[in-house]
Amino acid sequence: MKIALIIAAGGAGRRFGQNKQLFVYQNKPLLVRTIEQFQSLERQRQTACKIDQLLVVVSQVKKFAQVLAKYKISRAELIPGGRERSDSIRNGLQAIRTEITHVLIHDGARPNITDSLIARLVKALAKHPAVIPVVPVADTIKVVKNNRILATPRRAELFAAQTPQCFRKDIILKAYAKVNPQNCTDDAMLVEKLGAPVYAVPGDPRNIKITTKEDLQYLG
């Protein structure tokens, strides 16, 4: 299994109030914390998979290159982002080397990734074409339209999707080639629309995506 890791870091961070990837928290930008978490697991020989190609999709290549150089981040290939997240991921996919067989797509603003989660994903990825981590939804969910409750789905069947979302390379490339990404809120949804099965493994409640400054309290 040859794995490419695509880290999506091209967003503007509107809800955060600034570019959250470059926001310095405890002396390091969030993106640096995320990359270092993957690389530190590799260096300690604890990780369940070896990352053969690291692609970081960013909004400003020159600016991010300076930041990564400052923190001595090596092996990262910086890819220009696109207008939408799907455009950015497509740019990353186009840069994947021929020998890569599987792709992990991770949010740059999820720095709490753990080896145990990676292990669950890679083990499942050896058997299935697409695997994502999910966590149960704690609250009761309502379907609302025009301020009216239309339905209350069974909570036992509701889960929140996390990243990294993991795919066989041919499946995710086909999904991006064949499926219109409009209204698709994650990469797995494109594969679902393609008609390919997507399997779930238990995620990690600590593996949150930093969306607002209030979320910073959950960082490890």
Query: Average per-residue pLDDT in the chain?
Result: 90
Banded pLDDT at 44 (limits 50, 70, 90): low
Residues 113-142, mean pLDDT to the nearest whole number: 93
Residue-range domains of the chain with CATH? 3-133+163-218 (3.90.550.10)
The whole-angstrom separation of Cα 48 and Cα 161 is 21
**CA gap 159, 133 in Å, rounded:** 9
Q: Give me the phi and psi of 76, to 5 degrees please.
A: -80, 125
Return the pLDDT at 8: 94
Torsion sign (Cα): 34, 121, 210, 55: positive
17 pLDDT more than 80:
no
Check residue 171 and give its pLDDT.
97
* Residue 14 scores a pLDDT above 60: yes
Q: Per the confidence metrics, is the pTM higher than 0.95?
A: no
Helix (H, G, I), strand (E, B) or coil at 150: strand
Summarize pLDDT for 59-100 with one digit per residue, the tens: 889 999 999 999 988 889 999 988 889 999 999 999 999 999
User: Exposure of 160 by Cβ count < 10 A (0-12 exposed, 13-18 middle, 19+ buried)?
Assistant: middle
Query: Picking from 10-14, 44-48, 148-152, 206-210, which range would have the lowest pLDDT averaged per residue?
Result: 44-48
